[in-house]
A and B are shown apart, each in its own frame.
Chain A
Amino acid sequence: AQSVAQPEDQVNVAEGNPLTVKCTYSVSGNPYLFWYVQYPNRGLQFLLKYITGDNLVKGSYGFEAEFNKSQTSFHLKKPSALVSDSALYFCAVSYSGGYQKVTFGIGTKLQVIP
């Protein structure tokens, strides 16, 4: 079984401040973790993924995420938020042996305030 939780429905941050969008997961094997972003009336876009290797993963648009095995977390971060980062962010989890099953979180709305 696998599951993913995004504990915050919405995150508000001032432009220029660092941002964090939280994600925790549960899988029965080694996790594969993803972040996607969805802008209004658009499909999801891939940001970054963790499969193996360094715990700090760098992705598109200056985003990064840190894999923490002990806390089963994969939080999305950015050092300096832009107004254009305002969107819906989805964390997703799968695992080695999980074949096509990818479980998406319910999404966190990020609002960057000018």
Chain B
Amino acid sequence: NAGVTQTPKFRVLKTGQSMTLLCAQDMNHEYMYWYRQDPGMGLRLIHYSVGEGTTAKGEVPDGYNVSRLKKQNFLLGLESAAPSQTSVYFCASSYGGAYSYEQYFGPGTRLTVT
């Protein structure tokens, strides 16, 4: 079991460029999440999905889009990167809703926008 994997691990973008982060899980979890982690702010939820073909906005969705075409994959897109999106991005999945079930996290993607 690989658990939750994320690609890429590191990325440097210039302002205005776009990119897609890929998250994959092999635990057959229904729920998947994208968070960003910034110093002194903990983790903040960007978008989440409660099943294949569904997505919903989290706490800080602006500037990001997501897709869940397959149950095991959850993609996070940045359409026009901004320096404020410099962060570490974590994907997570859970068997049930994260409000009561533990989440399994990927290793993270460190993104720098210059």
Are A43's CB and B41's CB within 8 A?
A: no
CB-based nearest A residue for B102: A46
Known: A43-B90, A43-B108, A44-B90. A100 touches B50 (CB 8 A): yes
B31 within 8 A of A: yes
B105 CB to nearest chain A CB (Å): 3
Chain A residues within an 8 Å CB radius of B41 = 106
A22 on the B face (CB < 8 A): no
Q: Does B103 contact A (CB under 8 A)?
A: yes
Task: Say yes or no: A105 contacts B99, CB within 8 Å.
Answer: no
Q: Do A99 and B108 touch (CB < 8 A)?
A: no
From known contacts A90-B43, A106-B41, A106-B42, infer whether A101 and B107 are also in contact, taking CB-CB under 8 Å: no
Q: A99 CA to B99 CA in the complex, in Å? A: 6
Cα A101 to Cα B103 in complex, Å, equals 12
**Chain A residues whose C-beta falls within 8 Å of the C-beta of B107 in the assembled complex:** 41-43
Specify the chain B residue showing the minimal Cβ separation from A47: B102
Q: Is the CB of B42 within 8 A of A32?
A: no
> In the complex, are the beta carbons of A104 and B50 less than 8 A apart?
no
